[in-house]
Amino acid sequence: MEPVRFAMVGGGEGAFIGPVHRTAAAIAGNCRLVAGAFSSDAERARRSGEALGLAADRSYASWQALIEGEARKDAAERAEFIAIVTPNHLHAPIAIAALEAGLPVLTDKPLTDTIAAAEAFAAAAAQTGGLVGVTHTYAAYPMVRQARALVAGGALGAIRRVAVRYTQGWLARAEDAVGKQAEWRVDPARSGLAGAFGDIGTHAFNLVETIAGERMVRLSAELRAAVPGRTLDDDGAAMFHLAGGARGTLVASQVCAGDANGLAISIWCEEAGLHWEQENPNVLRVARRAGPEEIWTAGADRPYLAPQGSRVIRTPAGHPEGYLEAFANIYQDFALAVRGDAPADPCYASLSAGMRAMRFIAAAHASSEDDGRWIDLEDTRA
Amino acid sequence: MEPVRFAMVGGGEGAFIGPVHRTAAAIAGNCRLVAGAFSSDAERARRSGEALGLAADRSYASWQALIEGEARKDAAERAEFIAIVTPNHLHAPIAIAALEAGLPVLTDKPLTDTIAAAEAFAAAAAQTGGLVGVTHTYAAYPMVRQARALVAGGALGAIRRVAVRYTQGWLARAEDAVGKQAEWRVDPARSGLAGAFGDIGTHAFNLVETIAGERMVRLSAELRAAVPGRTLDDDGAAMFHLAGGARGTLVASQVCAGDANGLAISIWCEEAGLHWEQENPNVLRVARRAGPEEIWTAGADRPYLAPQGSRVIRTPAGHPEGYLEAFANIYQDFALAVRGDAPADPCYASLSAGMRAMRFIAAAHASSEDDGRWIDLEDTRA
Amino acid sequence: MEPVRFAMVGGGEGAFIGPVHRTAAAIAGNCRLVAGAFSSDAERARRSGEALGLAADRSYASWQALIEGEARKDAAERAEFIAIVTPNHLHAPIAIAALEAGLPVLTDKPLTDTIAAAEAFAAAAAQTGGLVGVTHTYAAYPMVRQARALVAGGALGAIRRVAVRYTQGWLARAEDAVGKQAEWRVDPARSGLAGAFGDIGTHAFNLVETIAGERMVRLSAELRAAVPGRTLDDDGAAMFHLAGGARGTLVASQVCAGDANGLAISIWCEEAGLHWEQENPNVLRVARRAGPEEIWTAGADRPYLAPQGSRVIRTPAGHPEGYLEAFANIYQDFALAVRGDAPADPCYASLSAGMRAMRFIAAAHASSEDDGRWIDLEDTRA
Amino acid sequence: MEPVRFAMVGGGEGAFIGPVHRTAAAIAGNCRLVAGAFSSDAERARRSGEALGLAADRSYASWQALIEGEARKDAAERAEFIAIVTPNHLHAPIAIAALEAGLPVLTDKPLTDTIAAAEAFAAAAAQTGGLVGVTHTYAAYPMVRQARALVAGGALGAIRRVAVRYTQGWLARAEDAVGKQAEWRVDPARSGLAGAFGDIGTHAFNLVETIAGERMVRLSAELRAAVPGRTLDDDGAAMFHLAGGARGTLVASQVCAGDANGLAISIWCEEAGLHWEQENPNVLRVARRAGPEEIWTAGADRPYLAPQGSRVIRTPAGHPEGYLEAFANIYQDFALAVRGDAPADPCYASLSAGMRAMRFIAAAHASSEDDGRWIDLEDTRA
C-alpha cells in the first residue's frame, strides 16, 4: 500500500523521543512524515522541518497552524494522522483539537498530565469517534506479544503473582536532573502526575495489563523523592491486585544507581512462570511447573511463536531486534488502523489503556499520601 | 585443632535438613557428630544413630535423655554444642534446656514457632550467657559476606532501595502439600507463624539485614493462602523501611510455579547496585553509577575480595561452591566460637538476628490482618 | 545533508537480504533508494519497484539497463551509489560495470564467487579509483567497534589467542536445503566458494580481523559436507595464526542443530579477554587478568565508550539495538564516504578486507583438500 | 554401610589437591581416611598426619612404608584403597606397588607422566586384576552425567560436532609460574607430558569422551609455550575426529588472561545441541532443532533427569552443588566399587579412560611437532 502520511507535533532539534518516533516510522515502512510543528519556538520549528526535508509549507510554527493547515490540503496529500511527542501537559489540548479536525491521534505516554485532561481527551474521542493510540513502547516487543498470547491461550492457568520493576539510575544524584530531558520530567507544572511513577511506572503498569490481559484493580503504594530537594517522586513501590485475584508488586525508580533501563517482569501462572527483561528483549523464559525451563526466542521463522508475536518480527531467529523495532511495531499497526486494516491485537495502547495508566498514577499518589491505604483504581476521578 | 564435638536433635531417617547439617559439619572439618536424638520415635532414633556410626550409648531416645546423658560424660568426651533440626515448635524447649545445661545451641530457623517462645528462648540465653547461633544459611555464602563488606565499607554510599524475593514453586498445587517436608510446614500447630513468610520470608529478611547492616524497622504486608484449602500463608509480599531510610519490597511465595529456590536480592546504594542470586551464588554483580558493571566472582585467590568473603572460600576462582559449603561456613564459625575463637563477623545468625526474624513474621501477619497498616517491628510483642 | 541517492540490484519479491538493506538505509536516515533492478525476471522486477514506490522509469529490467539509465539522469537526480544484493556470482560483473560507469559500489558479502572474479573486481576498483564497501554486517555492531578500539588502544597488550565460532542449525537436515535462501547457497554454480565457510565463515574471519586489527596469515582447515548428498561444505573448522603471532580456532557450521545465528568471539590479550556474542550484541565482556570482569554495554550516553563505538549508537544505554541498526551503520558510513565525508574508521568492510575474506575461503578449501596442511593466505591465487 | 577405609599418598601441608580429596571423601560420607604418607619430607608428613587426626602409626614417612605398613594391619582395620595425589611422575610407581600389594588405586590425573609409565601401570592392573580409578573430576558433575545419558539414549541422534575449551589465565605472565602449584606443572622432569595439554587438556579430552560415549580417534594439534622462557606448552588447540565421524575442536590454554577455570563444551547432535559450562555446573542447556531451548537444572527431585544424573545429586533443585560435590561423587562411587557394589556407570574415570587421555597428550605433542599432521591416537606407543 501507499505509505500513510502523518504529521508530528514536538520532537524538534535536541529532543530525544522525536527522532525515535521518526526512525520507528521509517522501519515500519508504511508511514511517511509529511508535516510537522516541531517546536514551540517558531525558528527552531522551521529549522527542524528543513533538516527533515519537509516542504516549507508543511513545517508549521505551531500545532494550531498545523491542524488548520493540513485540513486545507487535498485529501490525497494531507496528513492522515498526527503524532504528538510534546511534554505531557500539551497532549490533551493538541489531541482534542486534532480529533475535532478529524485527525487520528498517536500520542506519546503518559496520556496526559492530569486525570481531568485525560477525561476531556476521552470525551473528545468518544464524541468524534476518532482513532487514538498511545505509545507504551515496551508492550510492542514481539516477546511481550508472545507472553500475552500464552496467557490468553489459557494453558498456563490463572495468574497467581506478578513482579514488575522499572529501575533506572539516571536521576541518582541531585545534579542529574538537568538538561532538556530531565527538567520537564521533574517540573510538576509540565509533567503533572509524572515523576517516576508517571514517567516509567506507567510503562510497568501497561506491561502488566498487556501480558496479563486483565485489569489492575487495587493498589497500595509508597512514593517519595529520595533525592533531597525534588518535588516529584523519583522512587516508589506498590502492591496491587489484578481483577482475577492475582497479587503483584511494582517498583518504579529513577535513583537506582547502576541501572540503565531496567524494566523486567515475572508473571507466575498456575502451570508456569513467564519472565521477560527489556534489556534482553528477544528472550522469553517459560519456567514450567513440571519439566525444564524453556527459552523462547524471537524469530520470524520460529514455528512455535503465536501469530501475535511472529507477525511483528522482521528477521529470522538469531538476528536481534531492539527498541526501535518495537516502536516501529506501534507505527506499523497504527498506520494499518488508520487505513481501516487494524490487526486483531494491535501493538499500540488503546485510549482506555492509556486512561487506566493515568488512574494508576493517581491511585498511587492517593495511596501514598494516605499512608498506603488500598485504593481502587476505579475510584480515581478528576 | 581437635574437632568440636556436637550432638544433634532431629534429622533422622527421611529428614531433609538433618543430612544437610551433617554434611555441612563434615565439610567444615572442625566439628564431629558424637551424639544424637534423631527422632521422637525411639526405634527410628536408634536406627538413625546406628546408620550414622554413633556408639549405642550416644544415640538417645529423646532430646531430654540426650541433654541429661551428655552432661554425665567426661568433659573431654561430651558434646560441646547441640544442633537442633526439629520442627519449629520444639526449638525453644530444647534450646532452653540445653542452655540451662550449659550447652551452646545452634538451631535451625526460624528461631521458634511463636514470639512468646522466642522471648523465652532469649531470656534463657540472657540468663545463662550461653552461645546461640541460628542457621540462616543463605547469609553464609561468600558473596553475601562480600556484599555485606562492600556496604559496610561505605564507598557505595547510603542504601536507597532494596528488592528481595524468595519464590519457590513446590507448593503450587493443593496436592503438593504432602510428605514429611510439606506437612508440618502447612500445619499451624507445628509451624506456628511459619507458612511461606515464616519458612522462607525469614531467610529473605535475614539476607536483607545481613547485607544492609541495618535493621528493618517498618513494614506493610499482604499475606494469603493462594491455594484454596490452606490455613497458612503460601504467598505474600511486603513493602518495608530500613533504619537508615531506604525503602524495599519483599516477596515470599511457595506457589510460584517453575521456580525452584529463587532467592534473589538487589540493593541499590548511592554509587552502585549490588545484585545476587542464590541459584548462581558465586557471582556478585556490582553495577556502578558511572563505569561498567562488574562481575565479582568467588575464589580463595581473588585479591579484590574482602577477608569476610574470602576467608570462607575453600577453592580457587572458577571452582564453584554451593549450598552445602555455605552451610559448612556456619558450622565452621560456630565451632570456632564454641572454642572461644569466633571470627569478627561470623557466618551464623545471632540470637538477636533470629529474634528480629520472628518479629518480622509477626509484623507481617499483623499488617496483613489489618489491611496493610504499617507496623513497627519493635511493636511486636508476645 | 540531503540524503544520498542509491540504486539496488537484486532484493526483489521474496528475497531476504534486500529488505534488510532497505530497512538499514531507512534507519541510517542519510540514504534514499531512488532506483532498482530488483530481479532477473523483468515482470518481477517491475512489480518490486512499484511496491517500493519507485517511479516507473527508475525500476529497471536488468542491472545493465540500470547502470546505463542512471548514467543518463541529471547529476542532481541520479543514483550516487549502487547496492548489490544478488547471488554471489553476479557481484563482480555488476560491480565492475558500475565502477566503470563511475558509480561507487556497496556489495553484499562474500565479495565474489571466485578468487579470479575478486581479482578482476579489485583491478577495476584500482583502475577507476572507485569507492567500494562490503557488508560484513557483524563488524558494524557498536560493541564490536568498541572491542576493536580497545585492542587498538594497546592497554590490553598483545593478542594471545582467538576463538571464534559461527554456528547455525538451519541446514541440519538434508531436507532443509530448499527454498530461495538455501538453494543457491548450496549450489556451487551460483555460490562458488560459498558453502558454510563462504557464507558465514567469511563473517567470522572478518570479525576476527576487525577486532584484532591484524591479518590472519596462515591456517589449517578441515571442511566437509556433514549431511550426505551435499556438494558444498556445511561444516568445518580451522586453526589459524594472526600476523602478530596469536593463535586461533574458527568453527563455521550450518548443521549445528538448535543454534540460530551463533556468531561468538573471544579474544584473549595479555591483560584481558574480550568476549562478544552476536545474539546479545549490546554487551562486551572485558575479563581482566587482575580485577573483576566488566560488562560494557552499549549506549549513546556511556562515557566510557570510545568514539568509534558510541558514534554509531542511536539510543541511550538500556535501549537495545540490533541487527538492523548494525546494518544501518554500514549504510550510514558508506553514504558519508560517497559524499567525501567518510569517518576515520568506517563500519563497512573495505575492498581489501573483502578480498582477504576470499583468500580465507580459498585457503581453507586448499588446506582441507591437502589433509590440513598449513596454508599462507597470501599464497592463494586465482 | 561402614565407611570404606582409605590411605592417601601426597597432599600434605600446603598442597591444593590433597585437601580437596579429603573434603570430597567427607562429603561422600562412605569413606574414611585412616592412613597417609603426606609428603616426601618425613617431618612434614608427620605433622600433616597429626593435623588430620591420624594415629601416629598410620602416618607414614614414605609411600613404600605406607603400603608395607597397611599390609600388616588386620583386615578389619587396614586401608581398603589408596588415593594418590602426588606429582604426576610418582603416580605409576606408587600405583604399581599398591596394586601388587592388593590395594585398589584411586589416582589423580593425568594417569602418569609418560606413555611408558602408563603402559606399565596398565600392565600391573591387568596382571593383578586390581581396581583403578582416575579423578577426572569434571566428568563427575551431575549435569555431565545427564548429558552423557541423553546422548546414550539415542533420541538426539548422532553427534555432528564438538567444541570444547578449557581456558585458564593463572599462567598468563612469566612471573606467574611460581609457587608449589605452578612449579612442578611447568617442570618437564616432574610433569612429563603435562603442560597445559597434560594438566587441563586431558580433562577436556575426558569430558568429550564421557559425554559422547565414543572415542576420539584422530587429531591435528598445535601446542606452544606462549610465554617466552617456558619449556612446556601453556597454550594449544586441536581439531579431532570421534569414532562415529563427528568433528571437533579443543582448546587448552593457561595464558588466557581473565579466565579462571573455563571448561566449557558444546556437543551438537542431529536433533539438539548440548551446552555445559563448569563454572555454572548445575545447568545443562538442551537446544532443540525444532522447539525452544531447554534449561535442565540439577536437583535430586527433578523428575526429568536420568538416574545417572539424579543419583549423584544431594539436594533438591535450586540448592547449587559445586566442584567439591562433583569430586565427592568420585569418592562415593569408588568406595562402592571397592566394596563390590559399583554403580552401573560410575563417576570415576576407568584406567582405560585415563590411558586414552595419555595417548591424547602424546598424539597432540607428536602432531604439533610434525606441523599439524593428523595422528591416530591408537598409534601412540611408548
Q: Which of C373, C339, C97, C345 is nearest to C221 (CA)?
A: C373
What pLDDT was estimated at residue B180?
52
CB-based contact B204:B252 (threshold 8 Å): yes
What's the pLDDT band for C105 if we cut at 50, 70, 90? very high
**D166's grid cell:** 578449557
How many C-beta neighbours within 10 Å does residue B100 have? 13
Q: Provide the CATH topology of domain D142-314+352-369.
A: Dihydrodipicolinate Reductase; domain 2 (3.30.360)
User: What are the CA-CA distances from residue C227 to residues C70, C177, C234, D272, D357 (Å)?
Assistant: 45, 10, 8, 15, 30
Per CB-CB distance under 8 Å, the chain D contacts of C286 are: 258
Q: Do A297 and D295 touch (CB under 8 A)?
A: no
What pLDDT was estimated at residue A194?
72
pLDDT at B15 over 90: no
What pLDDT was estimated at residue B189?
53
User: What are the CA-CA distances from residue D131 to residues B238, B292, C284, D99 (Å)?
Assistant: 58, 53, 49, 8
pLDDT at B27 over 90: yes
Helix (H) / strand (E) containing D128: helix D115-128
Helix (H) / strand (E) containing A253: strand A247-253
- Per DSSP, D40 falls in state S
- Per DSSP, D21 falls in state H
pLDDT at D80 over 80: yes
- Enumerate chain D positions whose Cβ falls within 8 A of a Cβ in B: 2-3, 16, 19-20, 23, 26-27, 29, 53, 168, 170, 259-262, 278-282, 297, 299, 314-325
Q: How far apart are CA C31 and CA C20, in angstroms?
A: 14
Subunits with 3+ C-beta pairs closer than 8 A to A: B, C, D
| pLDDT tens per residue, range C162-180 | 999 999 999 999 888 665 5
| pLDDT average, residue stretch A18-23 | 96
Tell how strand D293-297 and strand D375-376 pair up: unpaired
Helix (H) / strand (E) containing A351: helix A351-369
Count the alpha carbons within 13 Å of A269 in the hemisphere toward its beta carbon: 22
What pLDDT was estimated at residue D186?
54
Q: Looking at the partner chain, which of C220, C256, C259 has a beta carbon nearest the beta carbon of D372?
A: C220
Helix (H) / strand (E) containing C239: strand C235-242
- Name the strands in the sheet holding C132-134, side by side, starting at the edge strand that comes first in the sequence: C31-37, C4-9, C81-84, C105-107, C132-134
- Per DSSP, B138 falls in state G
Q: Do A304 and D293 touch (CB under 8 A)?
A: no
Task: List beta partners, residue C83.
Answer: C8, C106
User: What are the CA-CA distances from residue C125 to residues C103, C157, D344 (Å)?
Assistant: 11, 36, 67
What pLDDT was estimated at residue C13?
86
pLDDT at A137 over 80: yes
Q: Which of B5, B305, B324, B331 should be substituted to probe chain D, the one whose Cβ sees the most D Cβ atoms within 10 Å? A: B324
| pLDDT tens per residue, range A233-243 | 999 999 999 99
Q: Which of C99, C69, C65, C62 is nearest to C82 (CA)?
A: C99
Q: Do C292 and B303 touch (CB under 8 A)?
A: no
Please tell me whether residue B302 adopts helix, strand or coil conformation.
Answer: coil
Q: Looking at the partner chain, which of B224, B237, B273 has a beta carbon nearest the beta carbon of A249?
A: B237
What's the pLDDT band for D175 if we cut at 50, 70, 90? confident
pLDDT at B193 over 60: yes
Residue B274: closest C-alpha in chain A: A258
What's the pLDDT band for B381 if we cut at 50, 70, 90? confident
Q: Do A16 and C260 touch (CB under 8 A)?
A: no
Q: Looking at the partner chain, which of D172, D239, D373 has a beta carbon nearest the beta carbon of C239?
A: D239
pLDDT at C260 over 80: yes
Per CB-CB distance under 8 Å, the chain A contacts of C26 are: 26-27, 29
Backbone angles phi, psi at D239, to 5 degrees: -105, 145
What pLDDT was estimated at residue D15?
86
Q: How far apart are CA B316 and CA B308, in angstroms?
A: 16
Q: Provide the CATH topology of domain C139-321+350-369.
A: Dihydrodipicolinate Reductase; domain 2 (3.30.360)
Please report the DSSP string for A9-63 in residue order: ES--TT-SHHHHHHHHHHHH-SEEEEEEE--SSHHHHHHHHHHTT--GGGB-SSH
Residue C370 Cα, gap to closest chain A Cα (Å): 34
Backbone angles phi, psi at B219, to 5 degrees: -155, 160
- How much of chain A is in helix, strand and coil states, percent to nearest 5? 40, 20, 40
Residue D264 Cα, gap to closest chain C Cα (Å): 13
Residue B297: closest C-alpha in chain C: C292
What pLDDT was estimated at residue C189?
54
Residue B317 Cα, gap to closest chain D Cα (Å): 6
Q: How far apart are CA A290 and CA A294, in angstroms?
A: 11
Q: Do A273 and B257 touch (CB under 8 A)?
A: yes
- Enumerate chain C positions whose Cβ falls within 8 A of a Cβ in D: 160-161, 163, 165, 167, 169, 172-173, 220, 222, 224, 226, 235-237, 239, 247-249, 251, 253, 255-259, 266, 268-273, 286-289, 293, 371-374
User: What are the CA-CA distances from residue A38 to residues A22, A324, C270 (Å)?
Assistant: 12, 20, 51
A141-316+350-369 in CATH: which number? 3.30.360.10
Q: Do B320 and D322 touch (CB under 8 A)?
A: yes
| pLDDT average, residue stretch C276-297 | 97
Q: What is the pTM of this model?
A: 0.96
What pLDDT was estimated at residue B176?
82
- pLDDT averaged over every residue in chain C: 94
What's the pLDDT band for B187 if we cut at 50, 70, 90? low
Residue C163: closest C-alpha in chain D: D251
Can you give the C-alpha Rg of chain D in angstroms?
20
Q: Do B295 and C296 touch (CB under 8 A)?
A: no
- Per DSSP, D98 falls in state H
Q: How far apart are CA A354 and CA A110, in angstroms?
A: 7
What pLDDT was estimated at residue D183?
60
Cα angle A94-A99-A103, degrees, rounded to a multiple of 5: 100
Crossing angle, helix B202-212 and helix B351-369, to 10 degrees?
A: 120
| pLDDT tens per residue, range A22-44 | 999 999 999 999 999 999 899 99
| pLDDT tens per residue, range B295-349 | 999 999 999 999 999 999 999 999 999 999 999 999 999 999 999 999 999 999 9
- Per DSSP, D198 falls in state I
Q: How far apart are CA A264 and CA A270, in angstroms?
A: 20
**B240's grid cell:** 518495608
Q: Which of D65, D105, D147, D12 is nearest to D337 (CA)?
A: D105
| pLDDT tens per residue, range B135-175 | 999 999 999 999 999 999 999 999 999 999 999 999 999 88
In one-letter notation, the amino acid at residue D172 is A
pLDDT at C192 over 70: no
Q: How far apart are CA A277 and CA A256, in angstroms?
A: 16
Q: How far apart are CA C225 and CA C196, in angstroms?
A: 9
Q: How far apart are CA B326 and CA D299, in angstroms?
A: 17
Q: How far apart are CA A370 and CA B20, in angstroms?
A: 47
Q: How far apart are CA A15 and CA A11, in angstroms?
A: 5
Please count the residue pairs, one from chain A and one from chain B, whose beta carbons lie less than 8 angstroms apart: 136
Q: Which of A285, A275, A125, A147 is nearest to A213 (CA)?
A: A147
Q: Looking at the partner chain, which of A26, A297, A324 has a beta carbon nearest the beta carbon of C260?
A: A297
Q: Provide the CATH topology of domain A4-137.
A: Rossmann fold (3.40.50)
| pLDDT average, residue stretch C190-204 | 83
Burial class (CB in 10 A: 0-12, 13-18, 19+), B325: buried
Tell how strand A216-224 and strand A235-242 pair up: antiparallel
Per CB-CB distance under 8 Å, the chain B contacts of D3 are: 53
pLDDT at D189 over 70: no
pLDDT at A258 over 80: yes
Q: How far apart are CA A26 and CA A7, in angstroms?
A: 14
- Per DSSP, C1 falls in state -
Q: How far apart are CA D103 and CA D5, in angstroms?
A: 11
Q: Which of C303, C301, C327, C323 is nearest to C313 (CA)?
A: C301
Per CB-CB distance under 8 Å, the chain A contacts of B165 are: 163
Residue A244 Cα, gap to closest chain B Cα (Å): 12
Residue D260 Cα, gap to closest chain B Cα (Å): 5
Q: Which residue has the cell 524469530?
A: A299
CB-based contact B336:B342 (threshold 8 Å): yes
Please count the residue pairs, one from chain B and one from chain D, whose beta carbons lie less than 8 angstroms apart: 96
Q: CATH top-level class for B142-315+350-369?
A: alpha beta
Q: How far apart are CA C350 and CA C130, in angstroms?
A: 12
Tell how strand D283-288 and strand D272-277 pair up: antiparallel
Per CB-CB distance under 8 Å, the chain D contacts of A298 are: none
Residue C248: closest C-alpha in chain D: D237
- pLDDT averaged over every residue in chain B: 94
- pLDDT averaged over every residue in chain D: 94
Residues contacting residue C334 through CB under 8 Å, at least 6 positions apart: C81, C104, C106, C131, C133, C346, C348
CB-based contact B332:B347 (threshold 8 Å): yes
Residue B253: closest C-alpha in chain A: A161
Q: How far apart, in Å, do the first and last CA atoms of chain B sit?
A: 42
User: What are the CA-CA distances from residue D288 to residues A255, B121, B153, C170, D294 (Å)?
Assistant: 41, 55, 47, 12, 8
**D375's grid cell:** 595422528
Annotated domain spans of chain C: 4-137, 139-321+350-369
Q: How far apart are CA B72 and CA B60, in angstroms?
A: 13
ipTM over 0.90: yes
Q: Residues of chain B with pLDDT > 70: what percent?
A: 95
Helix (H) / strand (E) containing B211: helix B202-212
| pLDDT average, residue stretch A331-351 | 97
Residue C123 Cα, gap to closest chain D Cα (Å): 35
Tell how strand B262-269 and strand B272-277 pair up: antiparallel
**C-alpha of B164 from chain center:** 16
Q: How far apart are CA D332 and CA D347, in angstroms?
A: 9
List the beta strands (DSSP E) in A73-158: 81-84, 105-107, 132-134
Q: How far apart are CA C235 and CA B235, in angstroms?
A: 51
Q: Which of A227, A241, A251 should be substituted to probe chain B, the one whose Cβ sees the most B Cβ atoms within 10 Å? A: A251
Per CB-CB distance under 8 Å, the chain B contacts of D20 are: 315
| pLDDT tens per residue, range D248-304 | 999 999 999 999 999 999 999 999 999 999 999 999 999 999 999 999 999 999 999
Backbone angles phi, psi at B76, to 5 degrees: -80, -5
| pLDDT average, residue stretch A169-189 | 70
